[in-house]
Amino acid sequence: MKNLKEKILIQVKDDLAQIETALSNNLDPYLDLVSKVARHILFGGGKRLRPLLMVLSARICGYQGNDDISFSTIFEYLHAATLLHDDLVDEASLRRGRPVAHSIWGNPTAVLVGDFLLARSLTLAAKTNRPNIIGIIAGITENMSQGEIEQLWLKGNLDITEAEYLEVILRKTAVLFQGACRSGAILADAPENEENALSEYGRHLGLAFQMADDLLDYIADTKSLGKAVGADLKEGKLTLPVIYSLKGAIAADREKIRRIIQNSDFSVNEFEMLVKMLYQYGGIDYTRREAVRHVEKAKEAISIFTPSPQRDLLMDIADYSLIRKN
Amino acid sequence: MKNLKEKILIQVKDDLAQIETALSNNLDPYLDLVSKVARHILFGGGKRLRPLLMVLSARICGYQGNDDISFSTIFEYLHAATLLHDDLVDEASLRRGRPVAHSIWGNPTAVLVGDFLLARSLTLAAKTNRPNIIGIIAGITENMSQGEIEQLWLKGNLDITEAEYLEVILRKTAVLFQGACRSGAILADAPENEENALSEYGRHLGLAFQMADDLLDYIADTKSLGKAVGADLKEGKLTLPVIYSLKGAIAADREKIRRIIQNSDFSVNEFEMLVKMLYQYGGIDYTRREAVRHVEKAKEAISIFTPSPQRDLLMDIADYSLIRKN
């Protein structure tokens, strides 16, 4: 497992370094406080997966220009903006093992710097001079805010269906992956079938990525996760492992699960009991199988491209989304 | 005074009605809750000044197409998005005589619906297919978030200078007016000198508008203002009437002002004493004169256009910004 991560990292090392530089340069001319808060969220150990997906998507379509790295930062700024607002909405306290921005600088600053990062991503989008790409960025933002709102209003609702869950994760996570991949294809002036293939790749990868994320909340350990396990549950956020298990649980167990969910102060013992039930009723296994299925769909989508190192890399990234630890 | 308002309203009645319809239509396909919160902030008695400025700017440059009304809503959505976030940042309780959105639906929803409205304005901007306009919208959003952040960090600081105040109101208010007017000119494919003239008109009008707003916080009555007078002061927000007066005050009065500002629970008597000092030290008068000066500059800027009913209307709107009561 570790080998796959290293195999990927060796190949994208130079791109990642350039992305880091571009992310930093694009923030330079701003107010001290804005830069400081933006840097806290931007340079806190993110994987740069979204910009990387745009760069690789452009390259697999034959792009040879110099704008890919700079434009790819759009997707990291957008991601960082939503992290700032989501941490606040979720009343989170840790992200990647560090205190969240709103706990350091207060809610108002976190709201406003989030707005600033959103605006930054749009300014960069406008610079692409491609109305298609700009429309995609705007659409991603609309979807993400709506996905977060849906998630917020579904909190604590034990009757949430798998379809509702899928709509939420499509909007809050997958459209950004999808948009990054599609924008890469557009930048490369790729034919429609390639643009659609990369769009499908991104969408399925995003769904798999979020399902893996939701699994980690039950099966990871706090240290490697960088935040407390069971955080979703504490917030009343019901994800696929729970949704699936609730469907099959006998009345007495359903009642037990309900009690744990409705008490945000649940004990470690109670949490462990819940995880056991998620295994027993198949929620863990089902979620993992669904994530694998979406990874396979993602890989299938890009199989239309002739084999190349870029294609292999995108395939490896899809596989990696299932085995990552944070 | 009332006559000027009526004179303006008679001429823009049809445009305003069309703007209302467009604002509502553009929200239709969204989640119930999103629409509900968005409608609360959008249809709470706003003057539609910003979209109107775009429409009139396009027309004075000879625009005869059908896209002006629809695109003009960009500026109202942007405005509404920032109102949602600003009310939250300022911990306001009333806007236009009604409870603020975050007090009804909670902070998280207000943050996310604000993001959604921001995204809505960008989607519409992308539809203009004009990279210039898109760049302006993105720039406005960057400036507004930075202006709000500056204002936030200057709160309670008695040493704020007039230059700092001007930078804040330029960013948080005037760039939006400026951008609306400039976008109208761009939509009309106006020559550069006309685009610049309208841009200057918008900027000066925005500065005058904000100064008049800041004055109202001291000289209006609560009922016609739709929120409590003295609200800026309660939040520790120092505006031009206070900044100017502090500069000229003798040490004992400066100390009195400082005590009132630093105690957000000041009494009606204390507030009246402060207002008296703002008159005495010329802060009220200076702010009014500065607002008048910017209105004159705004009118001067558009004097390059040949006389027309549209030009008269823009002149009247500039004058009206000084005499409005809310």
pLDDT of residue B283: 97
pLDDT of residue A215: 95
Report chain B residues whose CB lies below 8 A from the CB of A111.
85, 88-89, 111, 114
Which among A120, A144, A149 has the least Cβ separation from residue B142?
Answer: A120
Cα distance between residue A162 and residue B54, in whole Å: 45
**Model confidence over B152-189: pLDDT tens digits?**
889 889 899 999 999 999 999 999 999 999 999 999 99
pLDDT (average), residues A40-53: 88
| pLDDT over 70, % of chain A | 95
Note whether B118 contacts A: Cβ–Cβ < 8 A: yes
Query: Quick check: B69 and B18 in contact, CB under 8 A?
Result: yes
pLDDT of residue B196: 98
pLDDT of residue A165: 97
| pLDDT at position B29 over 90 | no
Contact (CB<8Å) A131/B135? no
pLDDT of residue B70: 94
Report chain A residues whose CB lies below 8 A from the CB of B141.
115, 118-119, 122
One DSSP character per residue, B98-161 reads EE-HHHHH-HHHHHHHHHHHHHHHHHHHHHTT-HHHHHHHHHHHHHHHHHHHHHHHHTT-TT--
Helix or strand run (H / E) with residue A287: helix A283-301
pLDDT of residue A131: 83
Contact (CB<8Å) B119/A30? no
Mutate to test the interface with B, among A32, A115, A133 (most CBs of B within 10 A): A115
Backbone angles phi, psi at B325, to 5 degrees: -105, -10
Which among A85, A123, A139 has the least Cβ separation from residue B115?
Answer: A85
Q: Which of A18-27, A54-63, B231-240 reaches the highest mean pLDDT?
A: A54-63
Helix or strand run (H / E) with residue B81: helix B68-89
Q: Average pLDDT of chain A?
A: 90
| pLDDT at position A68 over 90 | yes
Note whether B131 contacts A: Cβ–Cβ < 8 A: yes
Note whether A152 contacts B: Cβ–Cβ < 8 A: yes
| pLDDT at position B30 over 70 | no
Cα distance between residue A100 and residue A108, in whole Å: 13
Note whether B155 contacts A: Cβ–Cβ < 8 A: no
Report chain B residues whose CB lies below 8 A from the CB of A236.
none
Note whether B154 contacts A: Cβ–Cβ < 8 A: no
Query: Quick check: A171 and A147 in contact, CB under 8 A?
Result: yes
Contact (CB<8Å) B122/A144? no
Query: Quick check: A266 and A280 in contact, CB under 8 A?
Result: no
One DSSP character per residue, B210-258 reads HHHHHHHHHHS-HHHHTS-TTHHHHTT---HHHHHHHHH--HHHHHHHH
| pLDDT at position A49 over 70 | yes
**Model confidence over A221-258: pLDDT tens digits?**
766 666 667 888 888 899 999 999 999 999 999 999 88
Closest-CA distance, B150 to chain A, in angstroms, reads: 8
Report chain B residues whose CB lies below 8 A from the CB of A131.
126, 129, 131, 134
**Model confidence over A164-216: pLDDT tens digits?**
999 999 999 999 999 999 999 999 999 999 999 999 999 999 999 999 999 99
Residue B172, both tokens: 């948080």
pLDDT of residue B39: 84
| pLDDT over 70, % of chain B | 95
Contact (CB<8Å) B149/A111? no
Burial tier of B251 (Cβ tally within 10 Å: 0-12, 13-18, 19+): exposed
Residue A286, both tokens: 């089902």
pLDDT of residue A106: 81
b/e string for A294-313 if b means 16 or more Cβ within 10 A? Answer: bbebbbebbeebeeeebbeb
pLDDT (average), residues B285-304: 98
User: Which fold, B2-323?
Assistant: Farnesyl Diphosphate Synthase (1.10.600)
pLDDT (average), residues B290-301: 98
Q: A42 to each of A33, A101, B29, B31, how far by Cα in Å? A: 14, 11, 33, 30
CATH of A2-320, one of 3.40.190.10, 1.10.260.40, 1.10.600.10, 3.30.413.10: 1.10.600.10
Report chain A residues whose CB lies below 8 A from the CB of B142.
116, 119-120, 123
Residue A195, both tokens: 């643009």
Q: What is the 3-state secondary structure (H, E, C) of B250-308?
A: CHHHHHHHHHHHHCCCCCHHHHHHHHHHHHHCCHHHHHHHHHHHHHHHHHHHHHHCCCC
pLDDT of residue A315: 97
Contact (CB<8Å) B126/A138? yes
Q: Average pLDDT of chain B?
A: 90
pLDDT of residue A27: 79
Backbone angles phi, psi at B27, to 5 degrees: -100, -15
Report chain A residues whose CB lies below 8 A from the CB of B85.
111-112, 115
| pLDDT at position B1 over 60 | no
pLDDT tier at A156, thresholds 50, 70, 90? confident
- Other CB atoms within 10 Å distance of the CB of residue A10: 9
Cα distance between residue B80 and residue B102, in whole Å: 13
**Residue B209 vs residue A92, higher pLDDT:** B209
pLDDT (average), residues A63-69: 94
pLDDT of residue A61: 97
Q: Which amino acid is at A109?
A: T
pLDDT of residue A63: 96
Contact (CB<8Å) B150/A122? no
pLDDT of residue A34: 80
pLDDT of residue A129: 86
Report chain A residues whose CB lies below 8 A from the CB of B145.
34, 112-113, 115-116, 119
pLDDT tier at B104, thresholds 50, 70, 90? confident
Report chain A residues whose CB lies below 8 A from the CB of B107.
88-89, 107
**Model confidence over A263-316: pLDDT tens digits?**
878 888 888 999 999 999 999 999 999 999 999 999 999 999 999 999 999 999
Note whether A112 contacts B: Cβ–Cβ < 8 A: yes
**Model confidence over A117-135: pLDDT tens digits?**
998 998 899 888 888 898 9
**Residue B93 vs residue B65, higher pLDDT:** B65
**Residue A325 vs residue A267, higher pLDDT:** A267
